[in-house]
A and B are shown apart, each in its own frame.
Chain A
Amino acid sequence: AQRVTQPEKLLSVFKGAPVELKCNYSYSGSPELFWYVQYSRQRLQLLLRHISRESIKGFTADLNKGETSFHLKKPFAQEEDSAMYYCALEGAQKLVFGQGTRLTINP
């Protein structure tokens, strides 16, 4: 069975501080992992995917198969990063989402 866990419902950091949003997964196959973001009053949108190995808006995420984790990181948080972040795992033509972490960046 596919399962995604985001242990933090809420995360608050100061502007300029590092950010790490945790994501752990459970999947018997080879995982395809994503981070989606939902800004206030906007639709859910893809932030990054592990297969691309890219950095979007300063965010990166590394897949650690040994720890079954896909944590999202940014070295210096900005106020516009405040949003809801969802980790998702794709398998069998469906996305399984974590419960989400609401990130608030304090000025």
Chain B
Amino acid sequence: KAGVTQTPRYLIKTRGQQVTLSCSPISGHRSVSWYQQTPGQGLQFLFEYFSETQRNKGNFPGRFSGRQFSNSRSEMNVSTLELGDSALYLCASSFGLAGGIADTQYFGPGTRLTVL
């Protein structure tokens, strides 16, 4: 089956602008998580959506937001971009099983955002 896809793959923006990234999960997966990857901080959790509801959020400012659509596709938005937002943004999808059952997350290739 097709893997997780992310668009665009590369993006260059300037400070102060806003950006929207898109993620299409594996068919049948209802959970989408977003992560930021930087050389200094590594992989950090942004937020997770399940059935159009945000279930969990990491420690990022309110400039970072997301949403999920009824077909499970997800978007994340970053407003008022700062230089430090330059990173690889990864999304991951899973079935989103509840009840403490471990659920494998499958990652997309990422969107490389550069803020100038």
Pick from B43, B104, B110: contact of A97, CB below 8 A: B43
Chain B: minimal CB distance from A23 (Å): 13
Majority secondary structure of chain A interface residues (helix, strand, loop or mixed): strand
**Residues on the A chain within 8 Å of B33, using CB:** 93-95
Q: Is the interface of B mostly helix, strand, loop or mixed?
A: strand
Q: Tell me if B75 is interfacial: C-beta within 8 Å of chain A.
A: no
Complex alpha-carbon distance, A57 and B96, angstroms: 27
Given A44-B90, A90-B102: A95 touches B45 (CB 8 Å cut-off) = yes
Q: How far is the CA of A83 from the CA of B108 in the complex (A)?
A: 18
Size band of the interface chain B makes with A: 20 to 34
Judge if A74 is at the interface, Cβ distance under 8 Å. no
Asked whether A100 lies within 8 Å of B90 as measured between CB atoms, the reply is no
- Interface residue tally on A, bucketed by range: 20 to 34
Q: 9 A-B Cβ contacts within 8 A? A: A34-B102, A43-B107, A43-B108, A46-B106, A49-B102, A93-B55, A93-B96, A96-B45, A100-B43
Tell me the B residues contacting A by CB distance below 8 Å.
Answer: 3, 31, 33, 35, 42-45, 48, 50, 55-56, 58, 90, 92, 96, 100, 102-110
Query: Which chain A residues have a beta carbon within 8 Å of chain B's beta carbons?
Result: 30, 32, 34, 36, 43-46, 49, 51, 86, 90, 92-100
